[in-house]
A and B are shown apart, each in its own frame.
Chain A
Amino acid sequence: MNAENRIALLAAPGLLYLAALYALPLALLLTESLRDAEGALSLAAYVEFFADPFNRGVLWRTLRVAALTTLLALALAYPTALALSRARGWAQTAILVAMVLPLSVGVIVKAFAWSILFRANGAINGALMGLGVIDAPIRMLFTETALIIGAANVFLPFMVLPIYAVMRQLSPALPEAAATLGAGPFFRFFRVTLPLTLPGVIAGAAFTFSLSVSMYVIPSLIVGERQQTLSMLIARSFLFLRDEQLGATISAILLLIAIAVVLGSSWLAARVTGGRP
Chain B
Amino acid sequence: MQPAAAPPAQVGGGARHLDVAAVSKSYRGQKVIDRLDFEASRGELVSLLGPSGCGKTTLLRLIAGLVSADGGDIAIGGRSVTRTPAHRRNVSVVFQNYALFPHLNVRDNVAFGLRARGREIGARVDDALALVRMGAFADRAVAALSGGQQQRVAVARALVVEPDLLLLDEPFSALDRKLRETMQVELKTLLWARAITAVFVTHDQDEALAVSSRIAVMNAGRIEQYAAPGALYDRPATPFALDFVGLSTRIAGRARRRDGEAVEIETPYGIVRAPRPGTAPAEGAPVLIGVRPERIALADAEAAPDENRIAVRLADVMALGSRTHLHGAAEADDRLLCELPGMAQTVAPGAEVTLRWRVADTLLYPL
Binding site for B on A (CB under 8 A): 171, 173-174, 176-184, 187-188, 191-192, 195-196, 272-277
Contact = CB atoms under 8 A, between A and B. Distances in A.
Contacts, number: 77
Give the 6 A-B CB pairs with smallest separation, nearest first.
Answer: A181-B113, A183-B116, A177-B99, A173-B99, A179-B86, A182-B117
A181 B112 contact: yes
A67 B92 CA distance: 43
B97 A173 contact: yes
A182 B99 contact: no
A117 to B, nearest CB: 43
A273 to B, nearest CB: 8
9 contacts: A176-B93, A176-B99, A177-B99, A180-B158, A181-B87, A181-B116, A182-B116, A191-B115, A272-B103
B87 A173 contact: no
A171 B116 contact: no
B279 to A, nearest CB: 45
B91 interface: yes
Given A173-B95, A276-B141, A182 B90 contact: yes
A276 B102 CA distance: 8
Contacts of B93: 176-177, 180
B95 A184 contact: no
B157 interface: yes
Given A196-B102, A276-B102, A176 B66 contact: yes
Contacts of A182: 87-88, 90, 113, 116-117, 161
Contacts of B102: 196, 276
A179 B87 contact: yes
Interface residues of B, number: 29
Interface string B72-90: 0000000000000111111
Contacts of B89: 180
A276 B158 CA distance: 24
Given A177-B101, A273-B103, 10 more contacts: A171-B99, A173-B97, A176-B99, A178-B116, A179-B65, A179-B66, A179-B86, A195-B103, A196-B103, A275-B141
A194 to B, nearest CB: 10
B103 A276 contact: yes
B101 A174 contact: yes
B64 interface: yes
Contact of B112 (A171, A183, A184, A196): A183
Contacts of A176: 66, 86, 93, 95, 99
B143 interface: yes
Contacts of B95: 173, 176-177
A201 B112 CA distance: 23
Nearest to A272: B103
Nearest to B92: A180
Contacts of B157: 181
Contacts of A274: 103, 141
Nearest to B102: A276
Contacts of B64: 180
Contact of B116 (A173, A187, A273): A187
A171 B101 CA distance: 10
Contacts of B115: 191
B112 A180 contact: no
B170 to A, nearest CB: 13
Contacts of A173: 95, 97, 99
A174 B157 CA distance: 13
A222 B65 CA distance: 52
Contacts of B158: 180-181
A144 to B, nearest CB: 37
Contacts of A277: 143
